[in-house]
């Protein structure tokens, strides 16, 4: 009996070790992210499940590069879907940047190869959220880039900045609820 419990404990420890070493977490059907069970701010190549979202990651990184340079006009003109340009103007983005910087300090860094993707359905339309962990002077934040789930991911349908809560499992990426 003791031998069986010991073998079970060894098997569970081995499983936890293998899961903990994985650089990509894929669960909840289509949600996926880079990182380990213990740390989601890790760079990794796109998983097979995430490869269809490569352009969303590319655009998210381009956005952050221009965002860091405060080039809101280029973001607006080249990345924002014309259907939402009246809501997500260059001036609105400048205000968001200013407010974020006032509360959290300047943007320090982000990892180009860190990624998280979460498809969502809202109001009978499907969207993809590309989530980047961004380090500011005072705290890490989640930048959420919303795309229409069309397979192309060439234009932003929305953009949000949220405080990064404690580590969450995939499928809990977008919501601030734990």
pLDDT in tens, 84-140: 999 999 999 999 999 999 999 999 999 999 999 999 887 778 899 999 999 999 999
pLDDT of 63 reads 98
Q: Is the pLDDT of residue 146 over 80?
A: yes
Higher-confidence residue of 178 and 77: namely: 77
Please check whether residue 9 lies inside any domain of the structure.
no
Q: Is the pLDDT of residue 24 over 70?
A: no
pLDDT of 9 reads 37
Please check whether residue 3 lies inside any domain of the structure.
no
* Listed residue (122, 120, 123) closest to 131, CA to CA: 120
pLDDT digits (tens, 9 = 90+) for 42-69: 999 999 999 999 999 999 999 999 999 9
Please check whether residue 10 lies inside any domain of the structure.
no
pLDDT of 50 reads 93
Instruction: Tell me the CATH number at 154.
Output: 3.10.450.590
Please check whether residue 46 lies inside any domain of the structure.
yes
Q: Tell me which residue range forms the domain holding 115.
A: 23-163
Q: Is the pLDDT of residue 27 over 70?
A: no
* Listed residue (167, 178, 137) closest to 38, CA to CA: 167
pLDDT of 165 reads 78
> Contact at 8 Å (CB) between 161 and 142?
yes
Please check whether residue 84 lies inside any domain of the structure.
yes
User: Domain count of the chain?
Assistant: 1
- The pTM score is 0.79
Contacts of 49 (CB under 8 A, 6+ apart): 26, 30, 32
Please check whether residue 14 lies inside any domain of the structure.
no
Please check whether residue 174 lies inside any domain of the structure.
no
């Amino acid at each position: 009996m003791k031998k069986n419990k010991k073998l079970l404990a060894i098997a569970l420890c081995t499983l936890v070790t293998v899961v903990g070493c994985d650089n990509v977490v894929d669960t909840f059907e289509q949600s996926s992210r880079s990182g380990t069970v213990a740390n989601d701010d890790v760079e990794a190549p796109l998983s097979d499940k995430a490869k269809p979202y490569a352009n969303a990651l590319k655009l998210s990184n381009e956005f952050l590069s221009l965002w860091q340079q405060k080039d809101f006009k280029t973001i607006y003109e080249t990345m924002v879907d014309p259907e939402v340009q009246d809501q997500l103007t260059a001036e609105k983005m400048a205000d968001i940047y200013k407010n974020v910087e006032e509360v959290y300090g300047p943007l320090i860094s982000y990892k180009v190869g860190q990624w998280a993707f979460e498809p969502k359905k809202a109001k009978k339309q499907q969207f993809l959220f590309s989530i980047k962990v961004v380090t500011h002077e005072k705290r890490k934040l989640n930048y959420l880039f919303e795309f229409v789930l069309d397979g192309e991911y060439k234009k932003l349908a929305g953009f949000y900045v949220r405080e990064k809560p404690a580590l969450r499992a995939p499928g809990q990426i977008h919501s601030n609820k734990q």
